[in-house]
């Protein structure tokens, strides 16, 4: 068996692992990258990329339906699921070269396509090769979590790992899970012509501000998505006609729905099985590998990033953590993670985005804050595009330090980014209020809500008296 000695061994070729491998190799380190599946990982092949491509197709379909409001001839679009499948995979194929084995070998990375398993604290087996490294980086990602639902073994179902391979018409999709994935897929399939029922065991979009999440849920309801929130005692089965049947109990009573297809979208579980982490003295739980603020595991030669490490399972989090690990490994800097300004987005229509402290967080922690709100109905660009649903909500201290922001509305994922910068740099709301925003843009709403912080003082009776006095001179 061959023994390879390197500086860094990365296990997993998803977004985090690829970032570490590319960065380390280009800065002079000798790197081995091990991947047992597809290069690019979940994000490229079964996650972010195909899901957003599907949402783009659904958005195009909805544009046809709503064209009448602009004086154009509207109609009901016809979905060709074979062509939708082709569209998804053309998008994947366009991005794939950036994550390909050939590209990374061109960067000097030794790519090994095999399953990785630790032999000891400094050695990993990959196929018929042993890799001994100064540092290891675990970037093995996560897989769909499928809960033990009664009767699940009697039905076939989709997860994100296979739903984007579907080429057949979907008559009625039942979605179990009302988080971001479930909501995005529910809207996409509804807009592409399917009936959709969503069953959520807790609250829909539970991690987001309920006031803003309700705007998304109401929009999906208007489009025809049926929701069962707070579902308990779920049971699955098949009807005599071969349909999927789901039964649950809610506060409103017993509920039942039947559909042609089932999607399980109940979260994700870290990929830790099969790595033989015990041999490397790496502590872990079913939730993932345990790491410190520098992303080191209990074996100080081994770092972990991305979904396998948490606490946030986002592609952009894996990329951020990769930078922290590179500074630790290559430059011996005690770089630590800072999760005070982690943004996330649900790519529904309207989009739902958040960063920092929420109103509920502030209340729970007993913080004295100011809550600012600004409706998109007050934005001229939103009016011109007839996209006035939604709002911006900003949390500040009484002195104007920006603590958090949530946005529901068109392009919320883009509009949240100045607030990410503001919170990460500990800026006050005055900085946002004083910037020059081009007109007419949706982003002007960011300036307007920031300016509203000062409205009470600027338009007070005291200021009015002062202005009248000064006008005498």
How do residues 46-86 score in pLDDT, each as one tens digit? 999 999 999 999 999 999 999 999 999 999 999 999 999 99
pTM (two decimals): 0.95
Superfamily of domain 344-458: FAD/NAD-linked reductase, C-terminal dimerisation domain (3.30.390.30)
Q: Is 182 annotated as a binding residue?
A: yes
Ligand-binding annotation for 7, yes or no, is no
Is 117 annotated as a binding-site member? no
241 is in an annotated binding site: no
Low-confidence ranges of the chain (pLDDT < 50): none
Q: Is 178 annotated as belonging to a binding site?
A: yes
Angle separating helix axes 315-331 and 15-26, nearest 10 degrees: 30
Q: How far apart are the first and last CA of the chain?
A: 92
- Tell me whether residue 436 is annotated as binding: no
Q: What is the pLDDT of residue 457?
A: 82
Other Cβ atoms less than 10 A from the Cβ of 440: the count is 14
User: Does the annotation place 200 within a ligand binding site?
Assistant: yes
Same fold, 2-39+100-144+269-331 and 152-267: yes
Q: At what angle do helices 180-191 and 48-65 cross, to 10 degrees?
A: 40
Q: Are strands 2-11 and 31-34 parallel, antiparallel or unpaired?
A: parallel
Supply the pLDDT for residue 55.
98
Class of domain 152-267: alpha beta
Peptide bond preceding 411: is omega within 30 degrees of 0, i.e. cis? no
* Annotated binding residue 181: yes
pLDDT at 465: 87
**Mean of per-residue pLDDT scores for the chain:** 96
Q: What pLDDT does residue 300 have?
A: 96
- Determine the number of helices (DSSP H) and then strands (DSSP E) in the chain: 16, 23
Per-residue model confidence (pLDDT) at position 66: 97
Distance CA 407, CA 465 (A): 37
Task: State the DSSP code for 466.
Answer: H
Q: Taking the CA of residue 29 as centre, how many other CA atoms within 13 Å lie in the half-sphere pointing to its CB?
A: 23
Residue 441 among known ligand-binding residues: no
Q: Give the per-residue pLDDT at 461.
A: 85
The domain spans of the chain are 2-39+100-144+269-331, 152-267, 344-458
Give me the DSSP letters along 67-85: GGGGTS--------HHHHH
Identify the pLDDT of residue 464: 84
For domain 2-39+100-144+269-331, say whether CATH 3.50.50.60 is its number: yes
Give the tens place of pLDDT for each residue, 425-470.
999 999 999 999 999 999 999 999 999 999 888 788 887 888 888 8
Percentage above 90 pLDDT, the chain: 95
**307 known member of a binding site:** yes
Annotated binding-site residue? 179: yes
Token readout for 333 is 């800097």
347-388 pLDDT per residue, tens: 999 999 999 999 999 999 999 999 999 999 999 999 999 999
pLDDT tens digits, 33-42: 999 999 999 9
Is 461 within any annotated ligand binding site? no
28 is in an annotated binding site: no
């Amino acid at each position: 068996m061959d023994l390879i000695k390197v500086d860094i061994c990365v296990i997993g070729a998803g977004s985090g692992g690829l970032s570490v491998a590319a960065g380390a190799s280009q800065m002079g380190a000798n790197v081995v990258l091990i991947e047992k599946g597809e290069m690019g990982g979940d994000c490229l092949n079964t996650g972010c990329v195909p899901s957003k491509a599907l949402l783009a197709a659904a958005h195009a379909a909805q544009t046809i339906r709503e064209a009448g409001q602009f004086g154009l001839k509207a109609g009901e679009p016809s979905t060709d699921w074979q062509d939708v499948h082709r569209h998804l995979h053309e998008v994947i194929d366009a991005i794939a070269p950036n994550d390909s084995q050939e590209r990374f070998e061109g960067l000097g990375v030794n790519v090994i396509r095999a399953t990785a398993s630790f032999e000891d604290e400094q050695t990993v087996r990959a196929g018929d090769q042993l890799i001994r490294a100064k540092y290891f980086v675990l970037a093995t990602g996560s897989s769909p979590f499928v809960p033990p639902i009664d009767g699940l073994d009697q039905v076939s179902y989709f997860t994100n790992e296979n739903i984007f391979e579907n080429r057949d018409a979907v008559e009625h999709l039942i979605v179990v899970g009302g988080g971001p994935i479930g909501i995005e897929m529910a809207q996409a399939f509804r807009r592409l012509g399917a009936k959709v029922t969503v069953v959520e065991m807790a609250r829909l979009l539970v991690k987001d501000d309920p006031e803003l999440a309700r705007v998304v849920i109401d929009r999906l309801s208007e489009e025809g998505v049926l929701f069962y929130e707070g579902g308990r005692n779920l049971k699955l089965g098949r009807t005599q006609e071969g349909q999927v049947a789901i039964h649950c109990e809610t506060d409103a009573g017993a509920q039942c729905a039947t559909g042609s297809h089932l999607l399980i979208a109940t979260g994700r579980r870290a990929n830790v099985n099969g790595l033989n982490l015990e041999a490397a003295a790496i502590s872990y739980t079913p939730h993932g590998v345990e790491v410190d603020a520098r992303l080191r595991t209990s074996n100080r030669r081994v770092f972990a990033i991305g979904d396998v490490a948490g606490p946030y399972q986002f592609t952009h989090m894996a990329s951020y953590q990769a930078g922290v690990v590179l500074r630790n490994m290559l430059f011996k800097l005690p770089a630590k993670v800072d999760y005070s300004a982690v943004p996330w987005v649900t790519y529904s229509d309207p989009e739902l985005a958040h960063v920092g402290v929420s109103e509920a967080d502030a209340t729970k922690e007993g913080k004295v804050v100011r809550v600012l709100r600004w409706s998109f109905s007050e934005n001229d660009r939103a009016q011109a595009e007839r996209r006035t649903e939604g709002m911006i909500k900003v949390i500040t201290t009484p002195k104007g330090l920006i603590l958090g922001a949530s946005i529901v509305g068109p392009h919320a994922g883009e509009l949240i980014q100045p607030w990410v910068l503001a919170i990460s740099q500990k800026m006050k709301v005055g900085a946002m209020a004083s910037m020059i925003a081009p007109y007419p843009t949706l982003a002007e709403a960011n300036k307007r809500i920031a300016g509203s912080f000062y409205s009470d003082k600027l338009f007070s009776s005291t200021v009015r008296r002062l202005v009248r006095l000064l006008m005498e001179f």
